[in-house]
Structure 1
Amino acid sequence: MFYILLIIVLSLVLLHLYINYHEDARVIMKVPGLKDRFLIGNALDIFVHPDKLFDLRTSFAKQFKGIYRFYSYPFKTINIYNPEDVEIILSSMKFSEKSYLYLFMKPWLADGLLLSSGAKWQKRRKILTPAFHFDILRQFHVIMEENSKRLTETLEQSAGDTVNITPVITEYTLNTICETAMGTKLSDETSAAGKSYKNALLTLGALLAERFIKVYLFLEFIFNLSSLKQKQQKYIDIIQKFTADVIKNRKAYLEQNGLINSTESNDDGVYKKKKKAAFLDLLLAAENEGKIDRSGIQEEVDTFMFEGHDTTASGISFLFLMLANHPNEQEKVYQEMKSIFGDSTRTATTDDLAQMKYLELCIKETLRLYPPVHFVARVLNEKVTLSNYTIPAGTECLIHIFDLHRREDLYKNALAFEPERFLPENSVGRHPYAYVPFSAGPRNCIGKKFAMMEMKSAMSAVIRRYRLEAITKPEDVRFAGDLILRSINPIYVKTVKRNI
């Protein structure tokens, strides 16, 4: 019995030495990190309830200085949140391949623009870039303003009362992305499906977070045997049923009313057509020309329906929170609206939106404090030096945008809401990769201008008609361990009608 026990102990020791002291392990262990446990490394350090995952991550950011590692064989991850390292990873296509963690979303988003890489990503990006051309955004603006008006009418039903703002805003952004990029207006019949879609997205995010904290579920064959796999597929089916109906409805409309012209591009990458086409129309035209198949359309629509409404809903919800809690800044936004519109109740034009300079500062500062995409992850396919540490090839790299944006050495009074810090004269000398709410480099967010226009349209319409009063305080917010930055608890505000 003694010899059997001795053999087991020696075997475990040898296994520990092999997996934690081979060449790559020795190199990455030089990076600061949490204390390693025998055999399992750091695996237990992230084994927490999903609601505590975000707090755990921010505690790590406070403990280390811009870089730390996570290691549990065979998984090795480097976490960075300083601008110099962020620039190295994001500034070129060298490290453009998405992290293994994104594979968790593969059953849902497949090879859409978020997850694809290489030639496929370049081909899809070329097809889709014209969908966000200025002329298209001008067309979108009209629909955004119509939906912003509906948003103010919805808020009127609860004027003077406390309201959970996030569901209201999510409804607005979902309607907007459907009517603009997808060319499909949600009817009373489809609004129930839209609600199921939104609820499925929330649940799916929580399931992905649960998988992340259970390292053993990283292994695909184990995950496929788990109950989590079945739950995940249930909600993916709901999501993809909704987006498939969006595609079907738009295709039927175009077949009845005529499909758009050729998608050949000129030297500027702008498509040659009498009327520039929106997102889904471009995909359907590309399908007609054999440049994409139906599954390709599905994965791009799934990607943009998710990213095009959920991230913007997060940004606008936190903008409500910030302006409600900072009445002086809110009053400056209102006075800016008065200077543009006077006593007129007309809808905003694109020229009006361009004049909303102070509102734009408030949006930028909100996105600094509350970046909807709070992290991005890449795989380092070759050896690289970060913060003077050698990082071996094959390491996963997590860029923590939330923690980057809240570094005191980059932003004085980093936790304070100070929109003026984004005035040109106050931005001199700031590292260009110290602020990346839309990521940066060649894989930056294709819908950045769309999102900024939508946020301006919504908030300008609301502030012209309502004064926002704080109920939820910033210190009350606890963040969910989710793909998108969202509050675990409701964000409550009170809307008070202005005398106009």
Structure 2
Amino acid sequence: MGFSVLVASALCTFLLPLLLFLAAVKLWDLYCVSSRDPSCPLPLPPGTMGLPFFGETLQLVLQRRKFLQMKRRKYGFIYKTHLFGRPTVRVMGAENVRHILLGEHRLVSVQWPASVRTILGSGCPSPTLHNGQHKHRKKVIMRAFSRDALQHYVPVIQEEVSACLARWLGAAGPCLLVYPEVKRLMFRIAMRILLGFQPRQASPDGEQQLVEAFEEMIRNLFSLPIDVPFSGLYRGLRARNIIHAKIEENIRAKMARKEPEGGYKDALQLLMEYTQGNGEQLNMQELKESATELLFGGHETTASAATSLIAFLGLHHEVLQKVRKELQVQGLLCSSNQEKQLDMEVLEQLKYTGCVIKETLRLSPPVPGGFRIALKTLELNGYQIPKGWNVIYSICDTHDVADLFTNKEEFNPDRFMSPSPEDSSRFSFIPFGGGLRSCVGKEFAKVLLKIFTVELARSCDWQLLNGPPTMKTGPIVYPVDNLPTKFIGFSGQI
């Protein structure tokens, strides 16, 4: 009798939960398969949908690039999965990406995960606004990135970069962790140029608090949409509130002033004027959300790219020397009291330096991809993508598989010196996305990275103390070890 009770107890304790779990997995698979569009004869893409409700989100969050590489090897250029609570198809390759990016508003629409929309909010141009709203908001922000506006920004960027590199060269200790230092630099630049903050407005402690809040928010942008204490979404919202409070303080200061400081209008000032000019009531929440996204796009991505630049140039000294030779030809490698001042015309002459930046963005694009939602059932590469499914187009994988590039693993900026046919290269190299939703600040990013490269090359030599870095995505690409590096002053000899 006692033995029978033990067996029954064991069955209830172990076997029954296992059977229930297997039944749930089977029902989950049936649900996922049944969501295909029966009116379309094409099959769903290959792939797996993971665990009930969670899908494969946990594997993606924990493994990131390793998970994505495994999926690509196993399923090819298009596969199905289940991420952030939604059935999803991941797409890569120039032709597949072309189909998605050129199908905006006709086949697909922008659709970021619920956690991103919750944290960044409904007022952000890129993730949530549609059609006319997005077009008008983008047109306003583009004025902040015109050539004339960029010319105003050059001395500000140069001032911040030069001061930062001087601190690096004067730092005590055998090494400096590059990634957090670069993030702080890019954050200061974005705060000054995009939001109009002046250096005197933030103490070092206050600035560090904002940087840390941004890091916490970004770490939790892509999380399960569960707002409970200690969840990723909860932590992201708490960090966002710190940022919003500081931005609101700046907005109210702008409203009290009649003319912008510095002689130019930053992106936030232009958004405020656009709203008031259209007779709309100034919506503080929307402005805070727009400013938060500007900061996100204006410093996290450039910090990632600048860190990768230091890594690649540190590993390829011959490329750094070619950059210096180009600077020498342009009169930019003289003694400090004779150096030519940078401006847009001078920067545009630095063709090879521009190619170094392009090659860095090819091998290590800061943003790995973009999110869309299928407005109707699509046919792509012999498969169907049902209406309502999420679509992720991959930037990093598209660069990896592009036929346009030979010796893809090699860091070779010269590959960009020869122009490629527009049709073959347009969607093979997409570090700033493409189509109607391409990055609004891409010209600003290019100018900033050029100035950073110029100042770095003419003032510093450096050594990567851990060799080639291991890169991770979270959600922006960054080095796992923060890139410990030893900097010394450049001797001036090439």
Structure 1-normalised TM-score? Answer: 0.84
Query: Partners in 2 of 1:372 and 1:17 — Cα distance?
Result: 34
Return the letter of the residue paired with 1:83: A
Query: Partners in 1 of 2:103 and 2:246 — Cα distance?
Result: 35
Q: Which moved more, 1:406-415 or 1:148-157?
A: 406-415
| 1:231 match | 235
SS in 2 for 1:446: coil
| 1:267 match | none
Query: Partners in 2 of 1:240 and 1:171 — Cα distance?
Result: 18
How far the C-alpha of 1:71 sits from its partner, in A, is 4.3
- Residue 121 of structure 1: which of 134, 155, 160 is its match? 134
| 1:78 match | 89
CA contact (8 A) 2:471 2:477 kept: no
| 2:480 match | 488
How far the C-alpha of 1:427 sits from its partner, in A, is 6.1
Distance 1:17 1:240, change over 3 A: closer
How far the C-alpha of 1:65 sits from its partner, in A, is 1.8
**Gap runs ≥5 in structure 1:** 212-216, 261-274
Return the letter of the residue paired with 1:490: N
Distance 1:337 1:285, change over 3 A: same
Return the letter of the residue paired with 1:55: K
| 1:270 match | none
How far the C-alpha of 1:49 sits from its partner, in A, is 8.0
SS in 2 for 1:437: coil
How far the C-alpha of 1:295 sits from its partner, in A, is 2.1
Return the letter of the residue paired with 2:182: I
Return the letter of the residue paired with 1:433: F
Query: Partners in 1 of 2:230 and 2:98 — Cα distance?
Result: 40
CA contact (8 A) 1:420 1:426 kept: no
How far the C-alpha of 1:495 sits from its partner, in A, is 1.9
How far the C-alpha of 1:153 sits from its partner, in A, is 1.4
- Residue 449 of structure 1: which of 424, 440, 443 is its match? 443
Return the letter of the residue paired with 2:316: H
Distance 1:52 1:21, change over 3 A: closer
CA contact (8 A) 1:384 1:390 kept: yes
| 1:173 match | 186
How far the C-alpha of 1:42 sits from its partner, in A, is 9.4
Distance 1:48 1:24, change over 3 A: closer
Query: Partners in 1 of 2:388 and 2:329 — Cα distance?
Result: 55
SS in 1 for 2:199: coil
Q: Which moved more, 1:64-73 or 1:126-135?
A: 64-73
CA contact (8 A) 1:96 1:117 kept: no
Query: Partners in 2 of 1:102 and 1:365 — Cα distance?
Result: 33
| 2:309 match | 319
CA contact (8 A) 1:421 1:427 kept: no
Q: Can you list the C-alpha shifts for 1:315-358, whole angstroms capped at 9, x where unaligned?
A: 11110110001000011011111111252334322222111111
CA contact (8 A) 1:160 1:497 kept: no
Return the letter of the residue paired with 1:285: E
Query: Partners in 2 of 1:454 and 1:13 — Cα distance?
Result: 49
CA contact (8 A) 1:193 1:242 kept: no
**Gap runs ≥5 in structure 2:** 1-7
Instruction: Tell me if 1:22 matches 2:34.
Output: yes
Across the two proteins, how many residue pairs are aligned to each other?
465
CA contact (8 A) 2:327 2:350 kept: yes
- Residue 477 of structure 1: which of 466, 470, 475 is its match? 470
Query: Partners in 1 of 2:156 and 2:359 — Cα distance?
Result: 26
Instruction: Tell me if 1:31 matches 2:45.
Output: yes
CA contact (8 A) 2:98 2:427 kept: yes
Distance 1:388 1:226, change over 3 A: farther
Query: Partners in 1 of 2:423 and 2:241 — Cα distance?
Result: 48
Over the aligned positions, Cα root-mean-square deviation in angstroms equals: 3.1
- Residue 283 of structure 1: which of 233, 249, 271 is its match? 271
Structure 2-normalised TM-score? Answer: 0.85
